[in-house]
Amino acid sequence: MFGGLTALFIAFARTSKWDLAFTTNGFLAGLVAITCPCYWVSPTGAFFIGIIAGFVVVYATDLLEFLRIDDPIGAVPVHMACGIWGTLSLGLFATGQFGLPVPTGADTSTVVKGLFYGGGTTQLLAQAIGSFSVTAATLVVAFVLMYAVKATGTLRVSKAGELEGLDLHEHGMLAYPEYVIHGYSPSLHHVPQQAAEKMPAAVPSPSAAS
């Protein structure tokens, strides 16, 4: 909750608008961030983890836009950036009250204690190593896979498909029926004639028909 509210107020401070997209991604950011440490942190720790996740998702989105990396729905800020933050947060906010979960309960012979609760940097360093290792391995595998797909010539659709839109080009219909209901025609002046001919005609809205 606090991730969503934080992102909401940051966006409002920038634009004087209540930004629904940032708010939704802020809620998801808090959810992603608390996933790793939820068992080992207190409600106070969860509160601060969520707030910081709200900042992380906003500024990670800014960074992607600055780098001109296309991410229309903010998946990288939510899942990668806030996932990394959540993983690191265990090394900061783990209270040391809870043992390891085992089938018979909690094994309190070993506890997880973060930096802010007197645990030093040991757990934080372990979290950083783990997060870096997973991130690096994922990036390497993803780049290899994407370049392999690119080598086959199938990474991108045709130019006509890009102009027409994948919903029509691949599936023969609009993904957003409200466009048709309200009489919106996707036929734009820059769409090639052969692509425009395959687009369904707009259906007049009931208000227009009356």
pLDDT along the chain (210 residues), means of 10: 88 88 92 92 93 94 91 90 95 87 78 88 94 94 93 84 80 70 54 50 49
Every domain range in the chain assigned CATH 1.10.3430.10: 2-151
Looking at residue 19, its pLDDT comes to 85
pTM of the model: 0.73
Dihedral angle computed from the Cα positions of residues 184, 189, 193 and 160, in that order, rounded to the nearest 10 degrees = -90
pLDDT of residue 188: 46
CATH class of 2-151: mainly alpha
pLDDT at site 191: 46
Provide the 10 A C-beta neighbour count for residue 196.
17
- Predicted local confidence at residue 140, as pLDDT: 96
Determine the pLDDT at residue 190: 44
